[in-house]
Amino acid sequence: MTYLSGVKIRCVAALALLAAVAHAKPAPKAKAIIADDKLAAAIAPLHERYTVGDTRLGKAQGFDREGQGWSARLSSSDLGPIEIAIFLPVRDGAIASAAPLLRDADELVRRIRFLPWLLRYFAVVRTHVTMYYFGEHSLAPSLKAEIVARMKKTQTPERREAIGAQLDRSVVFEVAGSTFVALPDGTTFVYAVGAPPVLKDIKVDEVVDGDGNAVP
């Protein structure tokens, strides 16, 4: 019987490993969720209007916790301190159109810019705002469902009905760690409060008017 030293055993093992690697079949590439040409065509209008950065293709992140798609951060000189975080869902190899954002962006940005309480905040603190847009609306489906569920505990039936009717036309934005849902009627639902808060004495799930005062 022939005995091998520890060094020889390690050499034999290493050679065997190299041989196995050399003959191994390469792992199959993950199938892309959308063809490159389809993606390029879908987002081309965004490149014409905005500077497109931080692009990702894959599982949804942030407020929209379901599905896969393409996400990016959009900026421009016209937007100034506001950037748009967009997510276009991809289903069965087809990507959602960017047309809804291009249609809604000016109005939604204007609504953010002219909130009186936010203008006062900007006069004191220099910061930026992130506006969210998911598919066809600013409010992601998962976030909408969460807000509706929370309002059952915090709002009167009349207030829930009034807010619920406006959610699909609302605009979700984040500033200094606080997240707000601005409604078409000029009021704003407080989704999350950062530290220090953007508005003094505000609480999560409150609704504030244009001046930042809680609506009774």
Q: What is the pLDDT along the chain (216 residues), one digit of tens a residue?
A: 444 455 444 544 444 544 544 454 444 444 677 889 999 999 999 999 999 999 999 887 666 656 789 999 999 999 999 999 999 999 888 999 999 999 999 999 999 999 999 999 988 888 899 999 999 999 999 899 999 999 999 999 999 999 999 999 999 999 999 999 999 999 999 999 998 889 888 899 999 999 999 998
End-to-end C-alpha distance for the chain, whole angstroms: 92
3-class secondary structure, 170: coil
**Strands 178-182, 129-134: pairing kind:** unpaired
Closest to 109 measured CA to CA, from 140, 76, 145, 135: 76
- Confidence (pTM): 0.82
Q: Between helices 116-124 and 99-113, what is the axis angle to 10°?
A: 70
**Residue whose C-alpha is closest to residue 88's, from 35, 131, 132:** 132
The reported pLDDT for the residue numbered 55 is: 93
- What lies within 8 Å, CB to CB, of 167 at 6+ separation is 139, 144, 147, 148, 181, 183
- Given this model, what pLDDT does residue 30 score? 45
Strand bridging mode 94-95 / 188-192: unpaired
Q: How far is 89 from 209, CA to CA, in rounded Å?
A: 33
State the DSSP code for 203: -
pLDDT for 69 equals 92
Q: Residue 48: what pLDDT?
A: 97
